[in-house]
Amino acid sequence: MQRKERYEHLIEYFNEHQPEAETELHYNNPYELLVAVILSAQCTDKRINAITPALFEKFPTAEHLAASHFDEVFPLIKSVSYPNNKSKHLIGMAKMLTEEFDSTVPSDIKDLQKLPGVGRKTANVIASVIYDQPAMAVDTHVFRVSKRLGLVNQNAKTPLEVEKQLVKHIPKEFIPKAHHWLILHGRYTCLARKPKCMDCKISQYCKYFEKNFGTKA
């Protein structure tokens, strides 16, 4: 199967079966999503959703968070990965957001990456989820699944390389959804250690399945 056909089949499948794919992080506004995504680095969405209600109750706006101190933030997020750094990043992000962006989460990828704790992946999540831009955030799930399916070259070594290949082949209108399609597939089916290939609904389009189970794809 040619790569172009693989993309076409997968987009058709996901668009039919997961037309409303979206983030599993809980949020009510751009500020809350930005906080949640910063916290979610190397941590599960389930864990983040468990701690953000109390965090947002105490710091409901960027102004509240900007005026806070480390000792106020840390206890509320101590159960996530790297709570020390993330506490500092959240406060720094909120200060920059209020001082340089009038408390409005920017839509520009470069502006987003100026904020403490915001790398390219986080910036792409905000741009795609909040502003519906054709930005592809590549986390560990997207990186793994896109390679297994055969959507990107196996020699793609970095998230940026994978991102560039994906956005080159996926129509712009589907890129925001495709990010969630790949994440959710990796989270629940195409697991890192033991992928559920026998239960997978898209195995006929998968290079990994073809290689390991001998079925042509």
Q: Does 43 count as an annotated binding residue?
A: no
Catalytic residue among 86, 95, 139, 177: 139
168 is catalytic: no
139 is catalytic: yes
Q: Does 200 count as an annotated binding residue?
A: yes
Catalytic residue among 121, 199, 211, 216: 121
SS3 per residue for the chain: CCHHHHHHHHHHHHHHHCCCCCCCCCCCCHHHHHHHHHHCCCCCHHHHHHHHHHHHHHCCCHHHHHCCCHHHHHHHHCCCCCHHHHHHHHHHHHHHHHHHCCCCCCCCHHHHCCCCCCCHHHHHHHHHHCCCCCCCCCCHHHHHHHHHHCCCCCCCCCHHHHHHHHHHHCCHHHHHHHHHHHHHHHHHCCCCCCCCHHHCCCHHHCHHHHHHHCCCC
Annotated binding site for [4Fe-4S] cluster: 190, 197, 200, 206
**Catalytic site residues?**
121, 139
